[in-house]
Structure 1
């Protein structure tokens, strides 16, 4: 057996790239729609009895609630993804996310059914968290394990691209609905439309994902009957420290990213002044974020591509420098209006892309084949909790406690520095063989890149 991933045809790879981009776009469209709505309308609709300030905190906490259940999704999808395959988990997580999102769109408000409304809302958000925790790892492995050696960064960026595309679609549809149904109409019914559209999107995603072949690495694992009976136990017994470092690697990206992907900036900028916001045109704010998502899309593609040339670690370090620089003036730019929001969020998006594009390839190269789904999914889920789960709540609490957005900046800078330390502690294992034979030979623990590759990465 070759020390490369088992062969896939060019047609297989194109199909996988299309399926991972489309499916991940739909998954994260659903996720972002909830986060945006939580910053814009859920406080008065579902949490109003708590009072204005606490209602906003509870609404933002409902975003973070889903992150606490991502590890459960990661554990379940990782366990079964390493035992029965990558593809079944991708289909299941897509249906779970889309179903939960659609149900939010028909959910009665507190004024209609009382406390049942926020309880059911949070239960649906939990289902979204379980889905998100399992989906990403499967999409990553389907794309990276089909990729030829030397091009994993380029192929691995395909599920990563689905995240900014999902944000573009979510921002665009919200901007459209806020134009069609402004003010009280948006609060009354306009916010529901983006959630209901998810039903159409999941049908498309389901059809596309069902047509994709199973990962060649998993086909080889199944052929050799090398599935682990307890992959998660094996993961923590053999690679516990690696899981921690990989999680912290993602935490810095997630903390800064959730200033926009979690809707914090959109809510702060577009809420009326008497509700603690800046009162900017909500349509303009959404369009500014849409522009930054487009920048994020491009920089993610660039990040995946250059990581195949200069290495995963170097690409990340460049990204961290840019994110550090972007965090300092971010909120001062937001205060300038729609143009400042577009500039600040777009500057940050460049660093986000360079620390997101290579992530799929680097994560896949960290873990051996038999426990790879578990390792990738659980590291991602823990990193999302540490970085993104309560980023919005922390930012809002700091703003309310100190009365200035400058209080948020040290928190963002600290998260970048933590991620830099994790990056420094990880090995760049670019082009390590991913197949089960290489793991069985004992080469995984002793593998080193050749001299030329080592100088590059």
Structure 2
């Protein structure tokens, strides 16, 4: 079933000349920023417990490290509020330049941060502050990156055009895990923990410069220009979202829960489970995540495009239900302790994630009117991230450590997350592109 009404289908708007450029800019920008976020995610599982939280019980050190990981998610709503408001008031372009700089600088400073043996308790304290800055930047980045590509593209194909920003996390994850895998394979364990991991963080400086060169050359989106021409920019977008769009905000936020938790399972916690429970090496796990992320690079835009042809909420909901059924199968599969089985399992798990994450950007943004899109989308994305991805690694670790069959509890956790996301699909609305088409037509009249 098509997601668009007959009236919307009657209006066809070819993407303007800047659409492809905006798609590339959205993809590359989020890829660079999620590279920064991803190297922190992997390091929080494999490196930080040893160098920033030494002297603790191994389990306690892991919890402390994952707590600093969670700080990034807790900070995202701050970025969503600050930059979401600015994005609807002054535009998408300049906000995206600021978010890129914020994340890049914080990541480079983490790479240069002395460890606990050098400056003591100040090391983890500064680490938390830098993680906070990363999270604020990511919280403001996502909404703008999605709008950058989708508002240049055809509104009837928003699933595909908005998927540009969704490719960023697996692309960034691919680069981050690739860099760390190469370093881990080419260095001794002592050298990797001493200075090798820092190289991946410091390399972010070069990536940020590249991203800035692309974003500074962009124009503002046609939709925001039309809003400006109508004099319809909101004075208090955050307040207006809470007072006029509560159902949309809840539906959009719930849609994030299952994919966020699933992604944390297959890119963060799997590193802990496979190395400690199955006796695999760090290189084995990183390779599996790399391959899974590589498949996501084309599965995410494919999933987005698929939901332009079939009902977006239905496809999304089926993927959430499939996730609930697959997670226990995954844990049973990998009990043979085979690297091949682990890799296949991670690839399938991240494929389920792709079929939710690909259309997620389109689903979330189309819950809100054009004039409130940046604020509404950012709030939904970041608030849900705290509940979903922020707590997930900590909850996984507690569930895993609570009983010999801890993976059964983890499977139950994913089942609950899938139900919550399906409720979000039921509450949400299908695309209403007539408003956007009318806005653009009137601005050219």
Q: TM-score, normalised by structure 2?
A: 0.93
Distance in 1, matches of 2:92 and 2:322, equals 34
Give the structure 2 partner of residue 417 of structure 1: 419
Question: Is 1:84 aligned to residue 90 of structure 2?
Answer: yes
Question: Is 1:202 aligned to residue 208 of structure 2?
Answer: yes
Which stretch of the first structure deviates more once superposed, 298-307 or 428-437?
A: 428-437
Which stretch of the first structure deviates more once superposed, 364-373 or 389-398?
A: 364-373
Give the structure 2 partner of residue 352 of structure 1: 353
- What SS class does the counterpart of residue 235 from structure 2 fall into? coil
Distance in 2, matches of 1:278 and 1:175, equals 19
Kindly state the Cα deviation for residue 9 of structure 1 after the two structures are TM-superposed. Answer: 5.5
Question: Is 1:225 aligned to residue 226 of structure 2?
Answer: no
Question: Is 1:285 aligned to residue 285 of structure 2?
Answer: yes
Indicate if the aligned counterparts of 1:5 and 1:434 stay in contact, CA closer than 8 A: no
Kindly state the Cα deviation for residue 169 of structure 1 after the two structures are TM-superposed. Answer: 1.1
Which stretch of the first structure deviates more once superposed, 287-296 or 25-34?
A: 287-296
- What SS class does the counterpart of residue 436 from structure 2 fall into? coil
Kindly state the Cα deviation for residue 383 of structure 1 after the two structures are TM-superposed. Answer: 1.4
1:421 to 1:437, Cα distance in 2 relative to 1, 3 A: same
**1:410-447, Cα deviation, whole Å (9 max, x unpaired):** 1111111111111122121253432684999xxxxxxx
Kindly state the Cα deviation for residue 333 of structure 1 after the two structures are TM-superposed. Answer: 3.1
Kindly state the Cα deviation for residue 14 of structure 1 after the two structures are TM-superposed. Answer: 1.0
Distance in 2, matches of 1:174 and 1:191, equals 7
Q: Aligned to 1:67, which of 67, 70, 73?
A: 73
Indicate if the aligned counterparts of 1:319 and 1:355 stay in contact, CA closer than 8 A: yes
**1:239-260, Cα deviation, whole Å (9 max, x unpaired):** 1122112111111110111112
What are the within-5 Å matches in structure 2 for residues 32-431 of structure 1?
32-261=38-267, 263-270=268-275, 276-335=276-335, 336-404=337-405, 405-429=407-431, 431=433
- What SS class does the counterpart of residue 223 from structure 2 fall into? helix
Distance in 1, matches of 2:308 and 2:168, equals 20
Distance in 1, matches of 2:363 and 2:153, equals 13
Indicate if the aligned counterparts of 1:312 and 1:430 stay in contact, CA closer than 8 A: no
Distance in 1, matches of 2:246 and 2:392, equals 25
Structure 1 unmatched runs, 5+: 271-275, 441-457
Kindly state the Cα deviation for residue 321 of structure 1 after the two structures are TM-superposed. Answer: 2.8
**1:250-278, Cα deviation, whole Å (9 max, x unpaired):** 111101111123x21113323xxxxx443
Give the structure 2 partner of residue 17 of structure 1: 23
Kindly state the Cα deviation for residue 180 of structure 1 after the two structures are TM-superposed. Answer: 1.1
Indicate if the aligned counterparts of 1:268 and 1:278 stay in contact, CA closer than 8 A: yes
Distance in 2, matches of 1:31 and 1:39, equals 13
Kindly state the Cα deviation for residue 130 of structure 1 after the two structures are TM-superposed. Answer: 0.3
Indicate if the aligned counterparts of 2:255 and 2:360 stay in contact, CA closer than 8 A: no
- What SS class does the counterpart of residue 408 from structure 1 fall into? helix
Distance in 2, matches of 1:247 and 1:277, equals 33
Indicate if the aligned counterparts of 2:260 and 2:389 stay in contact, CA closer than 8 A: yes
Give the structure 2 partner of residue 451 of structure 1: none
Aligned residues: 434
Which stretch of the first structure deviates more once superposed, 383-392 or 336-345?
A: 336-345
1:89 to 1:435, Cα distance in 2 relative to 1, 3 A: farther
Kindly state the Cα deviation for residue 69 of structure 1 after the two structures are TM-superposed. Answer: 1.0
Indicate if the aligned counterparts of 2:299 and 2:354 stay in contact, CA closer than 8 A: yes
Kindly state the Cα deviation for residue 133 of structure 1 after the two structures are TM-superposed. Answer: 0.6
Give the structure 2 partner of residue 453 of structure 1: none
Which stretch of the first structure deviates more once superposed, 240-249 or 327-336?
A: 327-336
**1:344-391, Cα deviation, whole Å (9 max, x unpaired):** 111111211111111122222111122110000000001111111010
1:286 to 1:363, Cα distance in 2 relative to 1, 3 A: same
Which stretch of the first structure deviates more once superposed, 73-82 or 40-49?
A: 40-49
**1:193-239, Cα deviation, whole Å (9 max, x unpaired):** 11011010000001011111111111112222221111110100011
Give the structure 1 partner of residue 4 of structure 2: none
**1:85-135, Cα deviation, whole Å (9 max, x unpaired):** 011111110111111111111100000000000000000000111011110
Give the structure 2 partner of residue 452 of structure 1: none
- What SS class does the counterpart of residue 286 from structure 1 fall into? helix
Indicate if the aligned counterparts of 2:222 and 2:440 stay in contact, CA closer than 8 A: no
Kindly state the Cα deviation for residue 317 of structure 1 after the two structures are TM-superposed. Answer: 2.0
1:151 to 1:289, Cα distance in 2 relative to 1, 3 A: same
Distance in 1, matches of 2:154 and 2:27, equals 18
Distance in 1, matches of 2:139 and 2:349, equals 25
Indicate if the aligned counterparts of 1:144 and 1:360 stay in contact, CA closer than 8 A: no
